A = this chain, B = another copy of it.
Amino acid sequence: MNDNTTSIDKKIISVEEAEKIILSQKRDFGAETVSFKNCLGRVLTQDIVADRDLPPFNRVAMDGIAIKYEAIEKGVETFGIKATQAAGETPIEIKTVDECIEIMTGAALHSTADTIIRYEDIEIKNSKAFLQTDDIKKGQNIHWKGSDKKQGEVLVEASSIITPSVINVAVSVGAKDLTVKKLPKVVVISTGDEVIDVDKMPSPYQIRNSNAYSIEAVLKQYSILPALLHLADDEKTIREKIKQCLNDYDVLILSGGVSMGKFDYLPKVLKELSVNKLFYKVQQRPGKPFWFGNYGSKLIFAFPGNPVSVFLCLHRYFLPWLKNCLSITSKNVYAVLDENVEFKPSLTYFLQVKLQMNEGQLLAQPIKGNGSGDFSSLTGADAFMELPFDKASFQKGEVYKLWMINQTSFS
């Protein structure tokens, strides 16, 4: 690798160029049908349509009595209770103006009634209801058939993300199985003889494999269950396994193995396997030695081995790529820098920040970390703030883009 140092460094590209190249590699993984029980967070490829009017009938909105409003116009104040109708029962007819039906919320109103008087406004004695108010409007306390949505109307559009309220709508119209975008098959590949699995005791010179598991955890939040693979520093094995992965998966996410070290066989192997390098190295900190390429429709995100770099590259490049493939347009999030920051190198600097809200405004407080190697500082961060490469001083009060991390439902 050493010989190519200068030529490679010349080709270092900006964060914006890297993003553009990655987003241009949009892929469509097709569609699949999933039960409403297992589709939270997935992306619809179908509209959800009202199978009947909503509400499907003139729905009683208060417990009380159903009458003809004509009775009120005629001065009727006492109504004989003809019957009681619960929700779910067949509607009961009223024949005369001095009749009423005792009726419950959720019941379907018969066409002969048009007004509901709630219990609070009547007194019931000996099967008769006595009016206690003169404030009655025609049609009151009825949720009219089709007033929310008409049969055939689109309730949730294709390309929507399935949230709990989308599940509510789907179930309401009987859409038990939903057609959603398929997700890419991903393998997360860690490398290096110094990296051992969590089950084993590391020698003084080894570290435990944590990157693969944090990548897995992030992907799980997006319903992707990646395969995990660890490759020792053996060129032949690496070649065989990578070849297999290019065959079996849509996306290979690698951590480590792309620096300039003698035992970093990956770039060589990828070249031999005719994987097309789209870029190597991005003008950023952390995550500078980020390698990206394709092989037919397959994509290879090879991140540097440092856990903070991995985390940044995953959130700054992989997730936006995934959203783009799924046609999700998510809103950019910005915050106000809450402290002056100096960063001299001509690199886009991804500052770890903690967020606070003040009067509807998002304030970003820099995390005092120990450089990009200290992954334990990451646990206290809410986001990376993207500080552009062409400035060295960033002032309190300036607004910059955020890349949210560490989000859970509790956030």
Q: Spell out A's residues near B (CB within 8 Å).
A: 1-2, 5, 9, 36-37, 40-41, 43, 50, 54-57, 59, 61, 63, 84, 86-91, 102, 104-108, 119-120, 124, 143, 147-149, 155-156, 160-169, 171-174, 176, 192-195, 198-199, 201-211, 213-215, 217-218, 220-222, 233, 256, 259-264, 305, 307, 311, 323, 326, 328, 330-336, 355-357, 359-363, 370, 373-379, 381, 399, 405-411
Contact = CB atoms under 8 A, between A and B. Distances in A.
B359 A57 contact: no
A165 B323 contact: no
Contacts of A330: 410-411
Q: How many copies does the complex hold?
A: 2
A207 B56 contact: yes
Contacts of A262: 63, 84, 86, 102, 104
A148 B374 contact: yes
The 9 closest A-B pairs by CB, nearest first: A88-B194, A87-B194, A104-B261, A168-B214, A164-B217, A163-B406, A88-B193, A108-B205, A171-B210
Contact of A334 (B89, B213, B357): B357
A61 B373 contact: yes
Nearest to A105: B259
B156 A376 contact: yes
B409 A379 contact: no
A373 B408 contact: no
A121 to B, nearest CB: 10
Nearest to A215: B164
Given A9-B120, A323-B410, A63 B164 contact: no
